[in-house]
Structure 1
């Protein structure tokens, strides 16, 4: 074997080794208390901290970028990013990526104005109520799959409170921690009520191409690390 061939082979091996340990690009959205970025660039949040902790324990230092939720999922699907969070599971996402979790607790809750007599637990709620969830969310997909009358689908989670109070929907389906914090911050708790829909813990989706580059043991190592880093509700 010539020296040139040996050098080329070594270069390929070094390149492949480097790609498996390169900092993964993970995408998220601004959503307290799960993931937040301050004006000075500081990143925090219960899901963000759990995922950063798990990545570090798995031997990787993740790069985390804040963008719109719909765009985050598209970039992972096209291979421009390695993962997105915090995300609950659904069949469509499972086809394209692998879920790791839980990384943060979440309840899906129906939020209605206090003066609205509709009950989300009634059998005719699906036909009678105008509902909404933010675009690109698992909640929005669930509403579509179950035949609800979707009247609003704003691009961000926090805008769900605005459309609800404005009367553009009878009820919105939202993540409880994020919505409850927003309601408290705006001082409108006396105007809103909520009803539990289902428990849907949040986690991290990683692209299958990224996992393939990490080797066969990485997925189990990351899941174990996430179990250590996850802060379960008390």
Structure 2
């Protein structure tokens, strides 16, 4: 059994005072390694493991659900007492959710095979097509920074941005640093990936529907604070950090 599994098992045992039939909380997530894994025997990722640990510490049971990311966001926002990870807290989303607690701060940068680009202005001049995830914070950020829609290529689930870059279908990829490095490492592509300086960063949250039970919010926030204070969150994340490539 690996380190993450051991910690998750220990966390379950520490919650024996929780009700035998714990209430299920529906948690929406996307397969965005290493932030979140949907189907991986080793765990649920840097954000996923911590979110699930907090849910269990609060005395609930996580019921995992997967939808295309843009649809998942709409469904959770308009629903009631639904949770979602990993959601960047950006101005465009501020009034659409109940923000429970930050889990990780993530830098975002431009990735290319030809150029190291360190600013939005340079990216506007240098790149013809910039790949981003459909419905992602990256897509919203580029639009808010004045990038024309025809310069943004919004990729759907199943379109691997690393392969799109390797095949020349996009000139650059704007994304979170840990996710991009992890994806590139696991493609086996031998070409050098050039990463610019981080141009922005935001906190990745566990968030709830706009209509969310205040008592549930309080319990989850306190549970998150508890697992951060006692080192559980850091220990869960450290096991993943060891697997991330250096840049």
TM-score range, shorter chain: 0.7 to 0.9
Deviation beyond 4 Å, 4+ runs, structure 1? none
Q: Bigger CA drift: 222-231 or 142-151?
A: 222-231
Question: What secondary structure sits across from 1:169 in the alignment?
Answer: coil
C-alpha spacing 1:212/1:61, structure 2 compared with 1 (3 Å): same
Question: Structure 1 length normalisation: TM-score?
Answer: 0.77
Displacement after TM superposition at 1:81 (Å): 6.5
Structure 1: distance between partners of 2:105 and 2:158: 16
Question: Structure 2 length normalisation: TM-score?
Answer: 0.73
Contact 2:131/2:152 (<8 A) preserved = yes
Aligned to 1:109: 109
Structure 2: distance between partners of 1:110 and 1:86: 20
Displacement after TM superposition at 1:189 (Å): 5.2
Aligned to 1:34: 35
Aligned to 1:230: 233
5+ residue gaps, structure 2, are 1-21, 242-247
Larger Rg: 1
Q: Number of aligned pairs?
A: 211
Aligned to 2:184: 183
Which of these residues, 196, 207, 210, is aligned with residue 212 of structure 2?
A: 210
Structure 1: distance between partners of 2:120 and 2:176: 21
Structure 1: distance between partners of 2:120 and 2:26: 43
Aligned to 1:7: none
C-alpha spacing 1:92/1:151, structure 2 compared with 1 (3 Å): closer
5+ residue gaps, structure 1, are 1-20
C-alpha spacing 1:192/1:54, structure 2 compared with 1 (3 Å): same
Aligned to 2:119: 121
Pairing of 1:42-191 with structure 2 (within 5 A) = 44-79=44-79, 82-113=82-113, 116-117=114-115, 119-121=117-119, 123-130=121-128, 131-149=130-148, 150-156=151-157, 159-188=160-189, 190-191=191-192
